[in-house]
Amino acid sequence: MSDHITEIVIFTVLFLLVSGIGFVAARWRAPKDMAHLDEWGLGGRSFGGWVTWFLVGGDLYTAYTFVAVPALIFGAGAAGFFAVPYTVIIYPLFFLILIRLWSVSHRHGFVTPADFVRSRFDSPTLALVIAITGIVATMPYIALQLIGIEAVLKTMGVTGDSALARHAPIIIAFAILAAYTYQSGLRAPALIAFVKDTLIYIVIIVAVLYLPYKLGGWGDIFDAADKKFQGTAAPGDGILLNANNQIQYITLAVGSALALFLYPHSITGVLASKNRNVIKRNMSALPAYSFLLGLIALLGYMAISAGVKPLPGAKEGTVDSNTVVPLLFDQKFPAWFAGIAFAAIGIGALVPAAIMSIAAANLFTRNIYKEYLKRDATHAQEAQVSKIASLVVKVGAVAFIVFLDPQFSIDLQLIGGVIILQTAPAVALGLYTRWLHRGALITGWAAGMGLAFWMLWQIPNAATKRAHFGGSAFPLSEFGFDTKKTIYVGFVAVAVNLIVAVMATFFLRAMKTPEGVDGTTPDDYFADEGDPRIDKSQTPVDTVSST
């Protein structure tokens, strides 16, 4: 640790600086009353173009992304670049889906996607299913923000050998995060996102200009990567895609794009926008982050060229591939710049973790607590319950890291995408049509989820030595095909989900099963800021408006 004093000091100072910003955020655009989910959980639904751009960008591009994508490139090659096209595909989907969701939510005061489903299909049961699915899928995602911080701390030699020494810095960091999120709500990550994204852009631009110069140029970098993957036993590894991984690449990119906008934290960031035009402008500008992600991914090849060797993993005989990027910066940059890079990764964990915990807490409050435990809960009680729930969610995320092998948590994140995809028929298609029967949507969800878990159970992971739930690439040979090709589990499961929902709809209609009453109207999906039909009972009063 003594060799990393400069890095530790810079990391600590910047971390404490943004933590201070998190506490001050409660006074930024402050309403007269924060005791309302619209204020604590959605920032007053008042964020303009710049704030939304940084917030959504900081929400979707997490610390785990900056650590894990290059690590995947380092270990598997071209297959890891699936993250780039899927972040390009996502923005047209935002135009098609989330703008309509923003309008109907603005009109009715919806805070969560399950709120919308509850009103659209007149089904508290379906809303409960959507809420639980969102919470379960989000929990490991929050935990994975800790992986980025842990990789940095490991590289700086801060973590010890015992369980307590290894996790104490992370527990302290998340305790600080919990404190300012509890106080400031969504305003905290919104304000911190400015610092986080600025640091990330500076670090990556310097890296992609400086490191190729130090490593002999891009030709030498790609030659080193190609040499590493030549003769590998893994059929999908290499700097180019091959026949064995092309289907997996395509279905994973498309499936991940569909999953990303369904995550509760993605929806929370969008619902905080003040009008439809803000969302449209942001969906046009956010692909800039995809360009940044492409540059970040190339760090994996640079690490190969630089001869980086990952640090040992939590279990004997394993390696922690997530340390690849921190080690690259530690070895190739001056200590002061490496400290800034480490701070960028660490701070990059705070923004998405805060938004994710708020989104999960809102799901619990609105669709479990208020629906089943206290129907007459006031706005102030909702806000208080959501604050407490956000703390519980963070404790659960820390528990993932403390009590489970972190590599298993990574597997869980892949499973999280598969899980959240099963909400697509109710949420995404529900924004355009109510044709699918509410009972059929539940049946389809159960079928898709059941198939998904069966497929995931069949997948081992040689790196983590797990026999089950070792990833999301399902071998087609399990379906009887004589091939080494794989396919993304979520893609297959959501297809089955939709097919079953369609078939069950015909059956339930034939049985004349009640379909409930639609609580929305066609005009709701085009409502905008200042719409006179806004449900005032769901809107906080005496707040300070902002632009």
Distance CA 254, CA 252 (A): 6
Domain count, the chain: 1
Q: How far is CA 143 from CA 101, 190, 353, 356, 467, in A?
A: 27, 20, 8, 10, 22
- Decide: 343 and 14 in contact? Cβ < 8 Å: yes
Output the pLDDT for position 545: 38
- Report helix, strand or coil for 487: strand
Distance CA 373, CA 231 (A): 59
Output the pLDDT for position 546: 37
- Decide: 104 and 524 in contact? Cβ < 8 Å: yes
Q: For the residues of 100-160, what is the DSSP string, one character each?
A: HHHHHHHHHT--SHHHHHHHHHT-HHHHHHHHHHHHHHHHHHHHHHHHHHHHHHHHTT---
Task: Please list the pLDDT of the chain residue by residue as tens digits (547 residues).
Answer: 567 899 999 999 998 898 899 888 878 877 777 788 889 998 888 898 888 888 888 777 777 678 888 988 998 888 888 888 888 888 888 888 999 999 999 999 999 999 999 999 999 999 999 999 999 998 878 878 877 888 888 888 886 665 566 677 778 888 888 888 888 889 888 889 888 888 888 998 999 899 999 999 999 999 999 998 886 655 557 888 888 888 989 999 999 888 888 999 999 989 999 999 999 888 888 888 888 888 889 999 999 999 999 888 767 777 888 889 999 999 999 999 999 999 988 888 888 888 999 999 999 999 999 999 999 999 999 999 999 999 998 888 777 777 766 555 556 677 788 999 999 999 999 999 999 999 999 999 999 999 999 998 888 876 666 777 777 888 888 888 878 888 999 999 999 999 999 999 999 999 999 999 999 999 999 998 877 766 655 655 444 433 3
- Decide: 152 and 346 in contact? Cβ < 8 Å: yes
Q: Is residue 532 part of a domain?
A: no
Q: Is residue 543 part of a domain?
A: no
Output the pLDDT for position 283: 85
Q: Is residue 141 part of a domain?
A: yes
Distance CA 523, CA 330 (A): 55
3-state helix, strand and coil shares in percent for the chain, rounded to the nearest 5: 75, 5, 25
Q: Is residue 284 part of a domain?
A: yes
Query: Which one, of 310, 327, 316, lies nearest residue 464 by Cα?
Result: 316
Output the pLDDT for position 264: 93
Any idea of the CA torsion for 294, 300, 303, 307, to the nearest 10 degrees? Answer: -150
CATH code for the domain of 145 = 1.20.1730.10
Query: Which one, of 100, 543, 40, 526, lies nearest residue 272 by Cα?
Result: 40
CA 425 to chain CA mean position, Å: 20
Query: Which one, of 161, 187, 163, lies nearest residue 38 by Cα?
Result: 187
Output the pLDDT for position 314: 67
Q: Is 469 left (phi over 0), alpha (psi -120 to 50) or beta?
A: left
Q: Is residue 68 part of a domain?
A: yes
Q: Is residue 534 part of a domain?
A: no
Report the first-to-last Cα separation within the chain, whole angstroms. 46
Q: Is residue 94 part of a domain?
A: yes
Q: Is residue 183 part of a domain?
A: yes
- The residue behind tokens 């005496």 is 542
Which residue segment(s) compose the domain that 243 sits in? 2-21+42-514
- Decide: 270 and 43 in contact? Cβ < 8 Å: no
